[in-house]
Amino acid sequence: MAAAFSLLSVLAIAQSATSTDCPCAQLAKARIPQATITAAECVPAGTFTPPGNTQPITGLPAFCRVAAVLKPSPDSHIRIELWLPETGWNERFLGTGTGGGAGYINYGSLAMGLRKGFATANTDMGTSPGANELTGHPEKWADFGHRATHEMTVAGKAITEAYYHKAPRTAYFSGCSTGGQQALMESQRYPQDYDGILAGAPANNRTHLHTGFVWILRATNDMPGGTLPKQKLDLVTRAVLNACAGKDGGAPGDRFLTNPAACHFNPEILPVCPDGTDDSTCLTQTQLTALKKIWEGPVNPRTGDRIYTPIPLGSENVAAGIDMQQNPAQAPNALFYQYKWAFGKDFDYKTFDFDHDQDQLDALLGPVLNANSTDLSSFKNNGSKLLMYTGTADPLVPYQDALSYYERVIGIQGGLPQTQDFFRFYLIPGMGHCSGGPGLNDGGDMLGALIEWKEKGIAPQQLTGTAYESGDAQKGVRFRRPVYPYPLLPAYKGGDERSAESYEGVAQPVPKVKEPAARYLK
């Protein structure tokens, strides 16, 4: 008996020591509805290499790492991770977004939130091992569209409370691209989830955004010789900037557009050479025809209704733009997963009918993928705040769609003041997709501004964006420029073009953009 008692005592002491040394491990026993905890471990400060990754993440504080699988439906398999600061928790929960068709955990966003003191969550949106593999799985489409983010939020808050023995004081969401879709879905479908939401370059009009990708691929590949080599894309963008840069409110030396809608570029001034000519200083007639079609954007060939907005002028040679979208060896694998859901895994973009096939796509996937609702009354009445931003040189998710959405919300709210009471929108001059680009690479500390707005009642006005050398913050600053809530844009008033003090906010006279027809805003 003595020996048995001694052994039990040792085991009890060992378990107590384990719990004391790593309280995170106890979360493995946590009972979360529809969730299975697959990992609960203490990670020491320093460097951490995520599972399945070869790239280590450095400069991390000590944290509790929790991984789980959520199953809100029998066919769901939603992976989430939650990183909880061991010390210095700011008592806030941060949900973070992902990109593309998801299918992975965004460890960069987890690290960002952790370093700032948030209990930070992320999800693969239920599309692992890849969105292209989900043909015939409508429950997984719903997970990707909206359910995974909500379920991550519910489970993440519960795990956070179990770890710290108190609930988060406030909750925020931050995401860009697909993360922006997640953000707007949360504000529309689950308005109680977050106190503040930051939505970047939102891919919320999903079934029509991707039709823009099909349109560009068809415009450049349906006609032999229609593709545009990088040198010719550079030629086009230079011509656009020579005609319009600095005349749209920006500075004389700008090599990007502040307000592309104010640029009325005539493509007929581009140098044209005969088809078959291999010359980077001109476009062939076939290439010019393809370019004009790209700039027109997708329309229904039978009715003439606009399906989606085109890429913005001045973004032709920006990363993730025409060069990638016209490539039949690249674009379909990265961008056509929803067509495989709707039309089968052997979907052929060359046969897509922009009339009837588009209707079929919208009927099947629009209800779960599109976040176009302008009814934000519950979100507003909850006292929550929404910041949205996008770059004017984004060729992947054109800024015009977000602008159109914002203007529709203004109409529903009854005016700009009523809208800005809870929802503000920033156009970032020259920024590409979520970051980078030829102009500003960011819009400043928008998450910090959102928190200050919600918690202190200080509505964000002027923020300061930064452009870095080669788009890399480690290489130094090229220039800074203020950004303002729409409809204000930074206008050069004189002085050092690189200084934010040389600009003032001015309402631009040409805000109207090409927007989808009403039937394609559902």
Give the whole-angstrom CA distance, residue 27 versus residue 506.
52
Per DSSP, helices labelled H in 202-260 are: 206-221, 230-244
Q: Any residues with CB less than 8 A from the CB of 294 and at least 6 apart, and which?
A: 215, 216, 219, 220, 310, 311, 322
Specify whether the CB–CB gap between 490 and 429 falls below 8 A.
yes
Token pair belonging to 75: 């066919």
- What's residue 511's pLDDT? 66
Q: Identify any residues that bridge with 57 across adjacent strands, giving them in sequence order.
A: 48
Q: In the annotation, is 433 catalytic?
A: yes
Q: Any residues with CB less than 8 A from the CB of 220 and at least 6 apart, and which?
A: 226, 227, 228, 290, 294, 322, 326
- What's residue 268's pLDDT? 96
Token pair belonging to 223: 């006609």
Specify whether the CB–CB gap between 286 and 220 falls below 8 A.
no
- For residue 239, pLDDT beyond 70: yes
Smallest CA-to-CA distance from 490 within 458, 453, 464 is with 464
Report pLDDT digits (tens) over 314-329.
999 999 999 999 999 9
Q: Any residues with CB less than 8 A from the CB of 478 and at least 6 apart, and which?
A: 467, 468, 469, 498
Catalytic residue among 146, 208, 433, 502: 433
Specify whether the CB–CB gap between 251 and 479 falls below 8 A.
no
Specify whether the CB–CB gap between 123 and 76 falls below 8 A.
no
pLDDT class of 3 with cuts at 50, 70, 90:
very low
Specify whether the CB–CB gap between 340 and 132 falls below 8 A.
yes
Report pLDDT digits (tens) over 30-85.
999 999 999 999 999 999 999 987 789 999 999 999 999 999 999 999 999 999 99
- What's residue 8's pLDDT? 29
Token pair belonging to 355: 């009339």
Percent of the chain with pLDDT over 70: 96
- For residue 13, pLDDT beyond 90: no
Give φ, ψ of 93 to 5 degrees.
Answer: -105, 135
Smallest CA-to-CA distance from 306 within 3, 521, 80 is with 521
Q: In the annotation, is 394 catalytic?
A: yes
Least confident of 6-20, 115-129, 360-374, 464-478: 6-20
Scan for tokens 């631009």, then name that residue: 508
Q: Identify any residues that bridge with 423 across adjacent strands, giving them in sequence order.
A: 386
- For residue 15, pLDDT beyond 70: no
String of b and e for 324-338 (b: at least 16 CB within 10 Å)?
bbbbeeebbebbbbb
Q: Identify any residues that bridge with 35 across adjacent strands, giving them in sequence order.
A: 70
Report pLDDT digits (tens) over 326-365.
999 999 999 999 999 999 999 999 999 999 999 999 999 9
Residues 347, 365, 303, 300, Cα dihedral to 10°: -40
For the whole model, what pTM was predicted?
A: 0.95
Please state the separation of Cα 508 from the chain's center in Å: 25
Q: What is the DSSP letter of 518?
A: G
Return the domain boundaries, the chain: 169-522
- Other beta carbons within 10 angstroms of residue 417's beta carbon come to 9
Give the whole-angstrom CA distance, residue 495 versus residue 251.
10
Catalytic residue among 394, 401, 404, 502: 394
- For residue 151, pLDDT beyond 60: yes
Give φ, ψ of 30 to 5 degrees.
Answer: -65, 140
- For residue 366, pLDDT beyond 60: yes
Give the whole-angstrom CA distance, residue 465 versus residue 445.
8
Token pair belonging to 344: 């089968």
- What's residue 178's pLDDT? 98
Specify whether the CB–CB gap between 310 and 212 falls below 8 A.
yes
Q: Region 406-421: what's the mean pLDDT?
A: 97
Q: Identify any residues that bridge with 120 across adjacent strands, giving them in sequence order.
A: 83, 94
Give the whole-angstrom CA distance, residue 77 versus residue 127.
8
Q: Region 162-177: what's the mean pLDDT?
A: 98
Q: In the annotation, is 177 catalytic?
A: yes
- For residue 123, pLDDT beyond 70: yes
The upper half-sphere exposure of residue 24, i.e. CA atoms within 13 Å in the direction of its Cβ, equals: 20
Catalytic residue among 177, 187, 373, 502: 177
Q: Any residues with CB less than 8 A from the CB of 80 and at least 6 apart, and which?
A: 67, 68, 69, 70, 105, 121, 122, 123, 124, 151, 152, 155, 156
Give the whole-angstrom CA distance, residue 315 versus residue 387.
24
Q: What DSSP string runs through 447-472? A: HHHHHHHHHH------EEEEEEGGG-
- For residue 14, pLDDT beyond 80: no
